[in-house]
Amino acid sequence: MKFSLIAAVVLLALAQGSYAQDAADLEKLGQYFEDMKNKMVQDLTQIISSHDLGNQAQTFVQDKKIQLEPLVAQIQEQLRTVATNAEAQITPLAANVQAQLQPQIDSFKKQMEAIFQQLTNPSAPIEN
């Protein structure tokens, strides 16, 4: 019984020492992460303060504008070509439609003139 009691005490002492070592390791690991966080914050602050982000953004926009100008000019030229082609196709169609509708328009105009003439001439009897 004494032997088992001594063995239990030794085992508890070893376990306590092992936990103490684990606690020290955890504290070191926690300190390491804290140091890394502080270093990252410091580096990021230094990067932001040393670079003028506003000027970089403006330079970026100007560079992209310069790069896109030839593309815009090319697109505008293509749109002019498409507009010219569309106009060349639509002009004959419009003339054809106008030629087909012109007799009807002339007839409608004559009928309206006759109605207006009858309304303005009070001496003529109105036909049913």
Q: Report how far apart, in Å, the C-alpha atoms of 113 and of each of 22, 25, 51, 126 are.
A: 109, 107, 80, 15
Task: Decide if 4 is inside a domain.
Answer: yes
Q: In this structure, is the dihedral angle defined by the CA atoms of residues 63, 65, 69 and 70, taken in order, positive or negative?
A: positive
Task: Decide if 62 is inside a domain.
Answer: no
pTM: predicted TM-score of the whole model, two decimal places: 0.38
Task: Decide if 117 is inside a domain.
Answer: no
Task: Decide if 111 is inside a domain.
Answer: no
Q: Which domain holds residue 10?
A: 1-51
pLDDT on residue 29: 74
Q: Which residues touch 118 (CB under 8 Å, ≥6 apart)?
A: 124, 126
What is the chain's pLDDT, residue by residue, as a tens digit (128 residues)? 556 666 666 656 655 555 555 556 667 777 877 888 888 888 777 777 766 666 777 888 888 888 889 888 898 999 899 889 888 988 988 889 889 999 999 999 999 999 988 888 866 555 65
Task: Decide if 61 is inside a domain.
Answer: no
pLDDT on residue 106: 93
pLDDT on residue 103: 92
